[in-house]
Chains A and B, each alone.
Chain A
Amino acid sequence: MQDMNLTGLFIDLMGRLGLNYEFLATGYEAQIWRDGFITTLYLVAVTIPVSLIVGLIFAACLTSGRLWLSAPVRGFVELTRNTPTLVQLMFSFLVLNTVVSNMLGGAQNNPLSPFFWVVAVVGLHVAALHAEAIRGGIEAVPSSMIEAARGMGFSQFEILRYVQIPLAFRASLPAIVNGLISLVKSTTVGNAIAVSEITYASIMVWTQRDNVVELMIVLLAFFSLINFVVARVGSWVERRLAIPGYGL
Chain B
Amino acid sequence: MTASTATETGAAIVKLEDVHLSFGQTEVLKGIDLTINKGDAVSIIGPSGSGKSTILRCINALVTPQSGKITVAGTRVDQLTKESERIQLRKRVGIVFQQYNLFPHLTVLDNIVLAPTKILGADRTATVKLARELLEKVRLSEKADAYPGQLSGGQQQRVAIARALAMKPELVLFDEVTSALDPETVGEVLWVIRDLIRDGMTSILVTHEMRFAEEISDTVVFTENGRIVDHGSPQQIFHTTDNPRIRQFVGGLSGGGRGAVRDGEGI
Number of interface residues of A (CB under 8 A): 25
Q: Which A129-157 residues have a C-beta within 8 angstroms of B? A: 142, 144-145, 147-156
Indicate if the CB atoms of B118 and A245 lie closer than 8 Å: no
A170 at the interface (CB under 8 A from B): yes
Looking at the assembled complex, report how far the CB atom of B151 sits from the nearest CB atom of chain A, in whole angstroms.
Answer: 8
* Given A243-B147, A244-B149, A246-B147, also A153-B119 (CB < 8 A): yes
* Given A145-B101, A245-B147, A246-B105, also A151-B62 (CB < 8 A): yes
Stretch of A70-78, A116-124, A159-167, A216-224 that contacts chain B: A159-167
Indicate if the CB atoms of B105 and A145 lie closer than 8 Å: no
Scoring B residues 160 to 189 as 1 if CB is less than 8 Å from chain A, else 0, what string do you get?
Answer: 100110010000000000000000000000
Chain B contacts for A151, CB-based, 8 A:
60, 62, 90, 94-95, 97
B32 at the interface (CB under 8 A from A): no
A158 at the interface (CB under 8 A from B): yes
How many interface contacts (CB-CB < 8 Å) are there between A and B? 82
Looking at the assembled complex, report how far the CB atom of A15 sits from the nearest CB atom of chain B, in whole angstroms.
Answer: 56
B49 at the interface (CB under 8 A from A): no
Number of interface residues of B (CB under 8 A): 31
Q: Which of A163, A166, A244 interacts with B147 by CB under 8 Å?
A: A244
B99 at the interface (CB under 8 A from A): yes
Indicate if the CB atoms of B115 and A152 lie closer than 8 Å: yes
Indicate if the CB atoms of A152 and B163 lie closer than 8 Å: yes
* Given A144-B97, A148-B97, A245-B149, also A153-B90 (CB < 8 A): yes
CA distance A154 to B167 in the complex (A): 12
B103 at the interface (CB under 8 A from A): yes
Looking at the assembled complex, report how far the CB atom of A144 sits from the nearest CB atom of chain B, in whole angstroms.
Answer: 5
Scoring A residues 12 to 39 as 1 if CB is less than 8 Å from chain B, else 0, what string do you get?
Answer: 0000000000000000000000000000
Scoring B residues 137 to 169 as 1 if CB is less than 8 Å from chain A, else 0, what string do you get?
Answer: 000000000111111000000001001100100
Return the chain B residue nearest A146 by Cβ: B101
* Given A148-B97, A243-B149, A245-B148, also A155-B105 (CB < 8 A): no
B200 at the interface (CB under 8 A from A): no
Chain B contacts for A166, CB-based, 8 A:
105
Looking at the assembled complex, report how far the CB atom of A64 sits from the nearest CB atom of chain B, in whole angstroms.
Answer: 14
Chain A contacts for B84, CB-based, 8 A:
155
Chain B contacts for A155, CB-based, 8 A:
83-84, 87, 119
Indicate if the CB atoms of B103 and A163 lie closer than 8 Å: yes
Looking at the assembled complex, report how far the CB atom of B198 sits from the nearest CB atom of chain A, in whole angstroms.
Answer: 24
Q: Which A229-248 residues have a C-beta within 8 angstroms of B? A: 241, 243-247
Indicate if the CB atoms of B99 and A144 lie closer than 8 Å: yes
Return the chain B residue nearest A246 by Cβ: B149
7 extra A-B contacts, CB within 8 A, seeds A145-B103, A151-B95: A142-B101, A147-B101, A149-B103, A152-B90, A167-B104, A243-B104, A243-B147
B positions within 8 Å CB-CB of A? 60, 62, 83-84, 87-88, 90-91, 94-95, 97, 99, 101, 103-105, 114-115, 118-120, 146-151, 160, 163-164, 167
